[in-house]
Amino acid sequence: MRLFTMLFLAGCSASLPRVKVDTLAISVASQANLDTPIAVDAVLVRNPQLFDMLLGLPAAKWFAQRDQLRRDYPKDLNVLSYEVVPGQQIIAAPFQFDGQRAVGVLVFADYQTPGAHRVRLDGGPSKALLQLGDQDLRLLAQSQQ
């Protein structure tokens, strides 16, 4: 029975779509987050139920529960953490989750202001630009230079 469960789980992860984000650049507004640093997490999720739960989670709750969620779901979550400061520009770099199988990828930004402060990254442009504004973030396609 255990072998069947392992094969079933392996088959499920193989059927998940691949992340199609080649590069990620980050642009931070000069007065972002009341002129204070912002923690940013890109979260790759392999469990559909967990992904649905995270879709309803504002960033403040993600950051409060992150360590416990990582302990509870060690095989279902991968996290890339950044800390950015107002005015910072990070040039496009290969996105570490590109090509990996996942239900989805969410980005949480730990702003001091109320709000969800969350975007879904996996469905959006292959050359992604994460723009952290004064009070919220958004995902754009990086312009070709």
Find all residues with CB under 8 Å of 54, minimum gap 6, and list them: 43, 45, 62, 106
Mean pLDDT of 86-115: 96
The structural domain count of the chain equals 1
- CATH (domain of 96): 2.60.40.4150
Q: Which amino acid is at 113?
A: T
Nearest to 75 by CA among 53, 94, 101, 54: 101
pLDDT beyond 50 at 105: yes
As to burial, measured by CB atoms within 10 angstroms (0-12 exposed, 13-18 middle, 19+ buried), residue 128 is buried
In the chain, % of residues over pLDDT 90:
84
Q: Where is 87: in which H helix or E strand?
A: none
Tell me which residue range forms the domain holding 42: 2-141
Per-residue confidence band for 123, with pLDDT thresholds at 50, 70 and 90: confident
Per-residue confidence band for 2, with pLDDT thresholds at 50, 70 and 90: very low
pLDDT for 144 equals: 58
pLDDT for 13 equals: 57
